């Protein structure tokens, strides 16, 4: 049986935060974030690009593959016992990235800058570094914003439905 391979032996390390040593983090989450968000450096710039925007150019299938790969980081967070608010924050990052990828042409380019896997890995790193209160607080704010947005969308949909139903009722002579 062969020895386990450190991802940094295969994939050169990228910019690191001031968090604890990388070995304490999930290797699978690190590999997904690295491969899908920062695999290649764009020549002449400091910008990195991963497989996410490239495979997202393939309509439908690329988006699905990218989203499933992103769930690896989310599942690692669940496995490591990250709080519910942080899990929702991470899921929201994945959904935003998937929605960006669906925009024809511009979506994959926008995905280069959003980097949901790197964002989620950073949340996981900060959580494991013991910054539970800060990560949870930021995630709770994010969840509150999501819930508020969804509520406003729901109210707008109900208002449109009531308006259209009123017009239909008037047209049919019910009022």
Q: Is 81 helix (H, G, I), strand (E, B) or coil?
A: coil
Exposure on the CB side of residue 26, measured as CA atoms within 13 A: 26
Residues making up the chain, counted from first to last: 175
Q: What is the pLDDT of residue 101?
A: 80
Confidence band, pLDDT 50/70/90 cuts, at residue 52: confident
- Cα-Cα-Cα-Cα dihedral of 35, 82, 98, 139, to 10°? -120
127/119 Cα distance (integer angstroms): 12
Q: What is the pLDDT of residue 66?
A: 83
Q: pLDDT digit string (tens) for 82-129? A: 888 888 888 888 888 888 888 877 877 788 888 888 888 888 888 777
125/22 Cα distance (integer angstroms): 8
Domain ranges of the chain: 7-172
Better-predicted residue by pLDDT, 23 or 26? 26
- 111 token code pair: 């995905």
Please state the pTM of the whole predicted model: 0.64
């Amino acid at each position: 049986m062969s020895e386990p391979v450190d991802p940094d032996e295969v994939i050169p390390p990228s910019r690191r935060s001031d968090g604890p040593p990388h070995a304490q983090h999930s290797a699978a989450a690190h590999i997904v974030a690295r491969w899908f968000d920062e695999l290649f450096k764009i020549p002449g710039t400091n910008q990195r690009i991963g497989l996410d925007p490239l495979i997202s150019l393939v309509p439908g299938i690329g988006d699905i593959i990218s989203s499933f790969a992103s769930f690896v980081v989310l599942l690692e967070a669940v496995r490591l016992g990250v709080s519910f608010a942080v899990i929702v924050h991470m899921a929201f990052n994945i959904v935003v990235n998937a929605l960006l990828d669906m925009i024809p042409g511009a979506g994959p380019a926008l995905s280069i800058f959003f980097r949901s896997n790197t964002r989620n890995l950073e949340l996981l790193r900060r959580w494991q570094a013991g910054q539970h209160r800060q990560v949870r607080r930021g995630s709770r704010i994010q969840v509150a914003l999501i819930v508020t947005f969804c509520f406003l969308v729901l109210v707008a949909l109900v208002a449109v439905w009531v308006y259209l139903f009123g017009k239909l009722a008037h047209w049919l002579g019910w009022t």
